[in-house]
Every structure is written in structure tokens, then in C-alpha cells.
Chain A
């Protein structure tokens, strides 16, 4: 029944143009998912506004056009007029869109400046993309682990019933504290990946040899799921990201449990930088592509 209901809404909304995509419909998966970070909220607001403006423009322009299609039909005996310029009209429809665009550009720029400000972070996590898993290094405490897809292969091959979080579940979740400014340093070890959690509104490419910085501050505890969003080979569709946001106390407890012993931490920390060997200078060329990806570390 729920499914039917959903199907109905879905087909209905497919008929109604972009206008319907207001936050109300978020549960139905028609709009951006409910954000849990200040940046995410900002983006959602921005998105809703530009969507609304675009919808109004669309309805306005094509309202006029469809009126014309209806009223100026030959079958109704409409005689064509022969005008072909109007300086006034042409200037108007150059200037007004320009003004609208300026109106959109201002909040967007403000938003961007906020997003790019990674200063004064409370916590730094280094994220490394591999074919096809993620590695997380908590640079402050030395916690480090890999995170792999944990969905059973048989579910993918349609042999078993698919679970609720099909393709969006991992063996080791990234645990993060709420209310803290967290800085991510994102890189990759073989090809380009992209780390994305929709509800955090964080998406940044993981580029081998370079480090991208981005930050987030999560409002409320919960489990937030995302995926790799840059084509990275055969298993690109199968390297999810799962963030578990917890209270600061829980986070500290988790760190304490998982951090390596003191001297070991030192070692791993330096090991993180030194051990990062990248794609070697020599060309990589494997005969049969993704079947046998070139070894990442040479």
C-alpha cells in the first residue's frame, strides 16, 4: 500500500513541472535530502530559491508562448502581422535576466565563501580513496581504518533479499562528533574518487597526489549515507560512505577505544605521510583494464 501510494505520488509529480519540488516533498525523494549541517541548510535554501525562480521564468515565458499558440492559430483565421524588431522588448529581455542573475549570484557567492573557510577546525580527518574502499586517518588521535562495502554479494547478484541499506552499508563507519568543526583532508591513492554525503552537503574529489580541504559541522546525531561520486573503475558503484554522528562524549569514548597506544600513534602519524607512495613515474598500462587494475603502490 505504501508502495502504491508512493508510485502514485511519483507519477503525479512526474507530470507537474519542477514547481512541486518544495521541501515538503523531501520525504518522497523529490528534492535534496534533509540537511543536517549549516552548509547543507544554506544550500537547500539556495537550491529552493533558484528552482523557484527558474520555475517562474519557465511558466512565464511558456505561458506567453502557449497563449500565442492557442490564440494566433491559422485555423482560427489569425492573420500574421509582419513585425520583426522591437528595440524596447529586446533591451528589456536582456536587462531583466541580467538583474535576476545578479540577484542569484550574491547569495551564492556568500555561501561559497562560507564553504571554503576551513580555518579553526576542532578535528582533522584524512580521507583516502582507493579502488574500491575508503581509508580514514584521524590525524589528532591516530585512529585509522579502512571502510568497505558490507552488503552481501548475493544481494547484489539477486540471490538474496536486499536489505534496507542495500549498497549503503559499510564494515567500519566514520564516527564523528556533533557540534564540532571537522576538517577533512581528502586525497586518493590510485585514481580520482569523490567523497560525498548528501545530508552533510560535502562533496569533494579525492585526487591522487593532491589534498583537498573541506569542512563540516554536524547538527544532530544520526547515520548519514553517501557514495563515491567520481567514476573510479569497475566497483565505482560499490564504495559507499557511512558517517555516524554521535555526541562528543560518545565520540571521545570511541576514540579512546580505537586509538593506538601512545608510541604506536607517533609511528602511524609519521607513517601516514611517509608511507604514502603514489602512482610511480613510469606509465601504467595493464592489458585488460579493470580486470587487473595496476597495483597502486609500486
Chain B
């Protein structure tokens, strides 16, 4: 597809070193690395909170935490995972790979890029510092529903402002991605030649710009309702608590696709490589992503079937939601067709990719069931929903990122990771993941509500299983930290191609990829 390698790094002399380098860097690879490290750190923090949740739910009765603290754990676990682990992780991949994949010298606005990252640690500090305040962290769920959030203490205000900062970061980062893709492609890199990962990110960036400001508006209304006497969510003043839910989910539903679309992009890069076959149905893949993105704007109220919408609203949102299965199905079928009659090998990235396709589909199918309004009346706000979204989020987004890390790690570090340990990590993760979350389907159907610190006795067995699985899952993730560390420190030298004849500009570069790449654009055939 393309050939060019370049490693002339003469005139980039006076670069600071040490901490200052990382703080002031304008290099997309540095910034990508920062994002990925931050994401992993947040994954551990959010994961640790999940461990608290699972430990409390290990047995009926109140054991280790107070219910109010439990609610804080649930809330902040989700906020940290969504805004700290998954979104920044995906931006990390975007930073590292997009310029390389389209043959650009860097992101279009490198200084802004630095700011997008460096807002994050401060936002995270703001969010986590809420635990130090008198009322503790936010405890109304990550959905921050009014009027419960109106009651909270200082922690809620810290959360609101953390959300503002995260929003700024996301919007600026998304603008950068869009500009880079529109304006920095190497000559000959037409839109329909771009790797699918670039496409998914282009569309994700659009979603981000469209919905993050709306979320910012929603929490701003919360803030003024809390402190400045407005009545947006207060019926006595003519407002409506449900209004908050509408605005939140107008953001929140596209948000879940923001988390999954780049994951689809990563999967679409990995599967062809290890099938030794081009991606099946490139055009329909692009169209499917665009279709999913479009639909994501018009289905939000499927999170609110029980609020008492008029019948017509329920019917409409049910139909629109169900439609999403069609473009997503196209993607799943295309992946399977890519593997079909290929020449398959099962290195760690491929294992993760296959795991994602299978497990994500379980989550997708349970999503479809949730989308059927009458049935959702039974599923809503139970562990069935919790199972659904961990299947799409953990075994969708997070496992796709893990696969992506193994896939590109040799390119990033110049070393091969330990394949044996990588495979072990995959199997431990997959097995423990299913032990943790599959039983939650049954819990939900049997009637266990979400967001409760204690439960009736009939739910005991499955909770025990789920908690044990979760502890295993947690410990298994430490293995990944070790594998990556070991790979950065040394290991077998990676070749430039790393894998067996993979497609994409990144493989035309030396391993590790030099600090500056494609300062003269590559020639795209």
C-alpha cells in the first residue's frame, strides 16, 4: 500500500528531558503514551473501587462499607472507568496511531493536544478529591440524576466541575482528531483508503463534539439548581426531574458508542492481520459506523422507559433502538467473513479480538433485549443491565484496547512482549470476566436491583460466584502491567513488520517508531 521509512531526526535538538519533557511535550507519540499510562492508572483505581463493590456484595448483610460509601464507590467506579480509563485510552490510541496511519508528521495542533491531555490529571484530582470532603464523593450513580444530586454535598460540585474539565479535554481532543484527519493526510491517502481505525475515530470525534457540550450544559443546570435557585429540575418551580434524564441520555447514549467505535476500529485492524486476508466489506464497515453514529442520537430515551413517557414515545424509542442491531450486525458479520477462509493464527492480539467479537455480541444481544420496551420494564435497573453493559464495555472496549496494546506494543517499544504471558493474560481475563458477569444476567432476571449494598438471600449464590470471579479478574490485570513493563524494559527485538505481512503505514516504519515520523509524506500507492 505504501512505502516510506524515515528516520532523519536532525534539527530537533533542544528538547527538555525528564519530567519537563512529559509536561511540555508536543509530540503525538509522547502524548499518546501519557494518555495510555493515565488510562491504565485510572483502570486500576476504578478497578479497585469495583473490588470494594464486589467485596461488599460477596455476602448478604453489610460487611465492610456503609451504604452511603457503597453508593460513592458505584458512582465513582463508573465515572473513573468511563472518563478516566476508556475514553483517554482510546484517545491514546488515536494519538499514537492516527498520524502514522495517515502518513502525517504529527497531530494538526500539537500544543492543543498537550493541553487535552494535561487537563485530565487535574480533572481526575478534582473528582477524586471529593472523597476528602465532608459528605464524601458523589453518590447518585454515574448518571447523576436530579433531584438526588441536588441533595449531595460538596463532592457533587467537585464532580460537576471535573465533568466540565473532562468535557473541555474531550472536545479539544476531538477537534484535533478531526482536523488531523481532514487536513494532514499524506497525498493519495483518500478517505476511502484510510484504515478503519481512522474512520471510527473520525466519527467518534464528531460524536464527542456533538454531545460533550450538552453534558456540560446538563451539569451546569444541576449546579445552578443546587446553588443559584433555578428550577430546571424542580416541579414546584415548573421544572421536571426527568428533563435531566433526557439531557443526560442525549449525551449518554452517544457516549457509549464513543467508547465502542474506536474499539471496533482496533478489532478491524487486528483481525485481517492474523487472518492474512483483507478486511471484508470495507465500505459497508464505514457505512455501518456512520449509521450507528447517526442512530445513536435518536435512541436516548431507551434508558428511561420506566419514567412514564407517553406510549408513542416508548414505541418510537423501541423501534429506533432495535434498528441499531442492523449496522452492528453488519460489522460482526464482516469480521466473521474476514476470518472465513483466511489463514488464521492466534497470537495474543487475535485472541483478544476474537474474544471481543464473541463477548461483545453477547452484550449486544442483551442490549437488544433491553431495547424491547415491555421486556425492559422487567430488566430495567437490575443486574441484567449491569451484565449487559459490562459485556459491551469490558469485553468490548477494554478488551479491545488490551488487544490493541499487544498488537502495537512491539511497534511502540521495539520489543516483542512475552507471548506466553500474553496468552495467559487473555485466558485469565476471559474466563474470570465471564465468571464475574455472566451470573449477573440471572441475578437481574431473578429480580436483584442495581446499586444496592445488600440483597435478599435468594441472590447469594450468584453473587458469591460473581465476586470470586471479580477478584480473579482484578488480579489478572496486574499481569498485564507486568507484561507491558517487561516489554518496555527489553525483550526480543521486534522486526519492522512485527507480524506476518500486516497492512498499514505503521508497519513501514522501523520498530520502535522513531520520535518523528513522516516529516516528508509517504507515497501512497
Residues on A facing B (Cβ under 8 Å): 6-7, 10-11, 13-14, 17-18, 21, 29-33, 42-43, 46-47, 50-51, 54, 57-58, 61-62, 64-65, 68-69, 72-75, 78-86, 89-90, 93-94, 97-98, 101, 104-105, 108-109, 111-113, 115-116, 155-158, 162, 164-168, 190-192, 194, 196, 198, 201-205, 207-210, 212-213, 225-238, 278-291, 293-294
Contact = CB atoms under 8 A, between A and B. Distances in A.
A55 B138 CA distance: 38
Given A33-B446, A281-B231, A47 B369 contact: yes
Contacts of B330: 90, 93-94
A105 B236 contact: no
B439 A282 contact: no
17 contacts: A46-B372, A65-B357, A72-B341, A80-B342, A84-B277, A93-B329, A164-B457, A167-B454, A191-B147, A203-B377, A208-B235, A213-B308, A238-B67, A278-B235, A281-B229, A283-B226, A293-B151
A193 to B, nearest CB: 10
Contact of A61 (B241, B242, B332): B332
Given A46-B375, A65-B339, A207-B241, A13 B442 contact: yes
Interface in B67-99: 67-68, 71
Interface in B119-163: 134-136, 139-141, 145, 147-148, 150-156
Interface residues of B, number: 115
B381 interface: yes
Given A112-B315, A112-B373, A201-B378, A192 B336 contact: no
Nearest to B443: A29
Interface string B298-331: 0000000011100100110011001101100110
Interface stretch (B39-47, B55-63, B164-172, B176-184): B55-63
B466 to A, nearest CB: 10
A80 B60 contact: no
B367 to A, nearest CB: 10
Given A115-B374, A210-B308, A233-B148, A72 B342 contact: yes
B213 interface: no
Contact of B236 (A14, A73, A278): A278
Interface string B396-437: 000000000000000000000000000000000000001100
Contacts of B456: 165-168, 225
Most A CB contacts (10 A, CB to CB) among B148, B314, B380, B458 go to B148
B3 interface: no
Given A166-B457, A229-B380, A233-B148, A108 B318 contact: yes
Contacts of A192: 145, 147-148, 241
Nearest to A65: B336
Contact of A237 (B67, B140, B237, B447): B67
Nearest to A227: B449
A46 B334 CA distance: 30
Interface of B: 60-63, 67-68, 71, 134-136, 139-141, 145, 147-148, 150-156, 225-231, 234-237, 240-242, 275-284, 306-308, 311, 314-315, 318-319, 322-323, 325-326, 329-330, 332-334, 336-337, 339-346, 354, 357-358, 361-362, 365-366, 368-369, 372-375, 377-378, 380-382, 434-435, 438-439, 441-442, 445-447, 449-459, 461-462, 465
A101 B369 contact: no
Contacts of A85: 280-281, 283
B228 A74 contact: no
Q: Which 5 A-B pairs have the closest CB atoms?
A: A209-B235, A237-B452, A289-B135, A212-B308, A288-B135
Contact of A229 (B152, B275, B345, B381): B381
Given A29-B445, A81-B341, A90-B330, 8 more contacts: A68-B339, A90-B333, A112-B374, A162-B60, A162-B457, A210-B240, A236-B71, A289-B152
Given A11-B465, A68-B340, A73-B344, A228 B322 contact: no
A14 B456 CA distance: 20
Contact of A108 (B141, B373, B453): B373
A204 B308 contact: yes
Contacts of B368: 50, 54
Nearest to A169: B456
A30 B442 contact: yes
Contact of B229 (A86, A194, A205, A283): A283
Given A61-B361, A79-B343, A205-B306, A90 B374 contact: no
Contacts of A235: 67
A84 B280 CA distance: 4
A69 B354 contact: yes
Nearest to A35: B378
A30 B446 CA distance: 6
Contacts of B369: 47, 50-51, 54
Contacts of B156: 289
A278 B231 CA distance: 13
B375 A43 contact: yes
A155 B241 CA distance: 35
B220 to A, nearest CB: 14
Contacts of B140: 231
Nearest to B150: A284
Contacts of A109: 315, 318
Nearest to B288: A94
A162 B330 CA distance: 50
A156 B375 contact: no
B326 A29 contact: no
A229 B318 CA distance: 21
Contacts of B341: 68, 72, 78, 80-81, 83
Contact of A82 (B237, B278, B438, B442): B278
Contacts of A97: 325-326, 329
A198 B448 CA distance: 10
A62 B358 CA distance: 7
Contacts of A284: 147, 150-151, 226
Contacts of A233: 68, 71, 139, 148, 151
Contacts of B447: 33, 198, 226-227
Contacts of B344: 68-69, 72-74, 78
Contacts of B325: 97, 101
Contacts of B141: 231
Contact of B323 (A90, A101, A111): A101
Contact of B68 (A58, A74, A234): A234
Contacts of A72: 275, 339-344
Contacts of A234: 67-68, 71, 139
B343 A80 contact: yes
Given A236-B451, A284-B151, A207 B381 contact: no
A147 B88 CA distance: 46
Contacts of B227: 283, 285
B343 A108 contact: no
